[in-house]
């Protein structure tokens, strides 16, 4: 009788173990499918749409409506670019299947003369977004104009982090400094975007520091049209 009881216990343990294995296999399969689905969703989603005619309407900190619109596409050098206008300011973005870049152009002045210190597209984001990705790019240049010398320095830093749901926080900061000529300045522009799939920026924060003057603006998405 004791042997039969022991045998029954062993059989019961085996059945329980099989059930546990099946449950574990089901869980791992479910998690794997969910992870694959999330990855595919991210892969197929556009987190920074740039097509002519796309328009975002935001509400700023003063509860005013501000439009952001892709007004046209263009060619700069050999690069395709999109012209984005927001609140009277123009930004130029480059985009291909796996990379987003920002157009940087800085002109220095001396009297009636100008000097182009920099004009280039700087990569800022891989597509689709890579959680935790960050980058830094900088340049230094000695500028000569009419026997005068100026020093130009620029640094661009970016970073992206996945937050709630399928959204990402994208951070981009630009620091300029030029010493010499007649318009010696330091300028810092910090942009923070909350990016949603197939919508792009649903929140934008812009902080500017020019010499000693600081301004901060925040924009929350009200309407998206494409």
Question: Does residue 106 share a domain with residue 189?
Answer: yes
Residues 218 and 158 in one domain: yes
Phi, psi of 2 (to 5 degrees): -65, -40
pLDDT tens digits for range 104-142: 999 988 888 889 999 999 999 989 899 999 999 999 999
Burial (CB count within 10 angstroms: exposed 0-12, middle 13-18, buried 19+), residue 164: exposed
> Does any domain span residue 25?
yes
197 and 101 in a common domain: yes
- pLDDT tens per residue, range 27-69: 445 444 444 344 334 444 899 999 999 999 999 999 999 999 9
Q: What confidence category does residue 199 fall into, taking pLDDT thresholds of 50, 70 and 90?
A: very high
Residue 32 lies inside a defined structural domain of this protein = yes
Residue 165 shares a structural domain with residue 74: yes
Residue 116 burial (CB < 10 Å; 0-12/13-18/19+)?
A: exposed
User: Domain check: are 177 and 86 in the same one?
Assistant: yes
Q: Left, alpha or beta for 171 (phi > 0: left; psi -120 to 50: alpha)? A: beta
The pLDDT assigned to 39 comes to: 39
Residue 102 C-beta-side C-alpha neighbours within 13 Å: 19
Same domain, yes or no: 73 and 184: yes
Evaluate whether residue 210 is within a structural domain. yes
Give the CA distances from residue 126 to residues 105, 159, 216, in Å, rounded to whole numbers and listed in that order: 22, 11, 27
pLDDT of residue 3: 52
Instruction: Name the residue range of residue 195's domain.
Output: 55-225
* 63 in the same domain as 13: no
- Domain assignment present for residue 49? The answer is no
| Domain count within the chain | 2
Residue 14 within a domain: yes
72-107: per-residue pLDDT in tens? 999 998 889 999 999 999 999 999 888 999 999 999
Is 189 found in the same domain as 151?
Answer: yes
Q: List the Cα angle 13/15/17 in 5-degree steps.
A: 65
Pair 93, 135 in one domain: yes
pLDDT at 14 over 60: no
CA dihedral 173, 217, 42, 69 (to 10 degrees): -100
Residue 8 has pLDDT above 60, yes or no: no
Q: How far apart are CA 4 and CA 10, in angstroms?
A: 10
71 and 150 fall within a common domain: yes
33 lies in the same domain as 99: no
Alpha helices by DSSP H, listed for 53-95, are none
Predicted local confidence at residue 28, as pLDDT: 47
Lowest mean pLDDT among 43-47, 56-60, 168-172, 184-188: 43-47
Please check whether residues 62 and 33 belong to one and the same domain: no
Average pLDDT, the chain: 85
In a domain, 198, yes or no: yes
CB 75 within 8 A of CB 67: no
């Amino acid at each position: 009788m004791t042997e039969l009881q022991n045998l029954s216990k062993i059989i019961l343990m085996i059945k329980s173990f099989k059930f546990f294995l099946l449950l574990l296999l089901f869980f791992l399969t479910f998690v794997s499918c969910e992870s694959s689905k999330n990855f595919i969703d991210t892969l197929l989603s556009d987190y920074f749409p740039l097509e002519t005619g796309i328009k975002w309407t935001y509400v700023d900190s003063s509860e005013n409506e501000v439009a952001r619109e892709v007004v046209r596409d263009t060619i700069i050098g050999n690069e395709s670019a999109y012209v984005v206008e927001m609140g009277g300011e123009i930004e130029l973005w480059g985009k291909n299947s796996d990379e987003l870049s920002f157009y940087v152009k800085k002109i220095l002045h001396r009297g009636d003369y100008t000097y182009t210190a920099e004009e280039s597209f700087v990569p800022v984001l891989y597509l689709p977004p890579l959680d935790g990705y960050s980058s830094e790019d900088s340049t230094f240049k000695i500028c000569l104009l009419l026997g005068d010398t100026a020093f130009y320095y620029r640094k661009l830093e970016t970073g992206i982090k996945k937050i709630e749901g399928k959204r990402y926080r994208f951070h981009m900061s630009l620091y300029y400094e030029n010493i010499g000529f007649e318009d010696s300045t330091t300028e810092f522009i910090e942009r923070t975007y909350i990016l949603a799939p197939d919508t792009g920026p649903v929140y934008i924060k812009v902080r500017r520091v020019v010499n000693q003057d600081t301004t901060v603006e925040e924009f929350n998405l009200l309407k998206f049209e494409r």
